């Protein structure tokens, strides 16, 4: 396994981050335990979850499963860099959503209880809360850090200018601020290259990537649909995007087959090698999926293949950061 500092911090995280969105929903508790054990055995020390995960059954289910796994011992908690998130509603009450000081402090206590731990390594704002001023957000986060309940603060689904506004506000308070931003980034969705990634790099904020396979679309979707083995690919983001990108995906799968490569491994290898990316969040349902993601770390894509990928999935405008992406 390969490790890298999280953004500008000294915290070492694996280049693969185990996403837990499936735990308790598409993956049973026993299978979730097995995946976490295997991930840790293979050197993956970075796990990502959210307070709302498991909402299809009940909110908080996934954190509870991880907490039960920690409770089985074996120094599991000490070995894991644990990331979770706050923002989404946990009930219908108006103050049980967003990132107000009240919400974050109360949510952190509930999360710690579900996870059966004393601290959160990376506490991420799951979305921008346009109603919450940065002074309020940082006051609450500073308190949680001082109390030892949170080690680092992260964001997710922010725009580039949100990172700048957040970090400048933190700088004025002499607070470390945001250490990582978790965003969607893959061959299909490359808009992050224009402003988000450049802003993150400039401020020393690590980029964590969710949905590197675009909901399974880049993981051999057409072949799986034809074979009748598609699960995640047959719903959600992947199916919506397939209507628009079917011809491109067909050519992509043909290109991978011509090179003797697995489409999922190609997509993961491409994403994890992009500038500014610290880690990619993978959501395996099986140990075979986990094995493929690990193989992708050692996959070296040739220059010719990279050019073909740019042709099939062109970057925004002229490519690269703004304003050069569209201006002289």
Which element (helix H / strand E) includes 299? none
Token duo for residue 117 = 């731990």
Fold topology of 3-312: TIM Barrel (3.20.20)
**pTM for the whole structure:** 0.93
Question: Residue 156 carries which DSSP code?
Answer: E
Cis peptide before 14 (omega within 30 of 0): no
Domain spans in the chain, listed from the N-terminal domain onward: 3-312
Q: What is the pLDDT of residues 287-314, one digit of tens each?
A: 889 999 999 999 999 999 999 999 999 9
> What pLDDT band is residue 236 in, cutting at 50, 70 and 90?
low
Question: Integer distance in angstroms from the first to the last C-alpha of the chain?
Answer: 41
**Digit-coded pLDDT (tens) for 218-227:** 999 888 887 7
* Band (238; pLDDT cuts 50, 70, 90): confident
Closest by Cα among 223, 318, 312, 226 to 270: 312
Tokens 């299978």 appear where?
31
d(CA 132, CA 141): 13
Active site amino acids: 53
* pLDDT tens, residue by residue, 17-43: 999 999 999 999 999 999 999 999 999
Phi, psi of 212 (to 5 degrees): -65, -15
């Amino acid at each position: 396994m390969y490790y890298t500092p999280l953004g500008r911090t000294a915290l070492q995280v694996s280049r693969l981050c185990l996403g837990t969105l499936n735990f308790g929903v598409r993956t049973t508790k026993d299978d979730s335990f097995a995946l976490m054990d295997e991930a840790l055995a293979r050197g993956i020390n970075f796990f990502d979850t959210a307070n709302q995960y498991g909402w299809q059954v009940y909110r908080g289910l996934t954190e509870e499963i991880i907490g039960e796994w920690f409770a089985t011992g074996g120094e599991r908690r000490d070995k894991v860099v644990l990331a979770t998130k706050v923002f989404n509603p946990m009930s219908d009450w108006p103050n049980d959503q967003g990132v107000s000081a009240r919400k974050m402090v109360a949510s952190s206590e509930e999360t710690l209880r579900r996870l059966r731990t004393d601290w959160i390594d990376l506490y991420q704002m799951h979305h921008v809360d346009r109603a919450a001023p940065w002074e309020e957000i940082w006051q609450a986060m500073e308190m949680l850090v001082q109390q030892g309940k949170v080690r680092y603060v992260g964001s997710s689904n922010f725009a580039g200018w949100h990172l700048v506004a957040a970090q400048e506000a933190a700088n004025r308070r002499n607070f470390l601020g945001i250490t990582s931003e978790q965003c969607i980034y893959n061959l299909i969705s490359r808009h992050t290259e224009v402003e988000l990634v450049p802003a993150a790099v400039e401020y020393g904020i690590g980029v964590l990537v969710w949905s590197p396979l675009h909901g399974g679309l880049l993981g051999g979707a057409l072949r799986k649909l034809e074979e009748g083995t598609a699960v995640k690919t047959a719903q959600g983001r992947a199916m919506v995007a397939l209507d628009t990108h079917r011809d491109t995906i067909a050519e992509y799968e043909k290109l991978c087959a011509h090179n003797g490569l697995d489409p999922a491994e190609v997509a993961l290898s491409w994403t994890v090698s992009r500038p500014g990316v610290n880690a990619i969040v993978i959501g395996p349902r099986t140990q075979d999926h986990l094995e493929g993601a690990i193989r992708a770390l050692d996959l070296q894509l040739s220059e010719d293949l990279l050019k073909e990928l740019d042709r099939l999935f062109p970057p925004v405008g002229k490519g690269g950061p703004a304003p050069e992406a569209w201006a002289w």
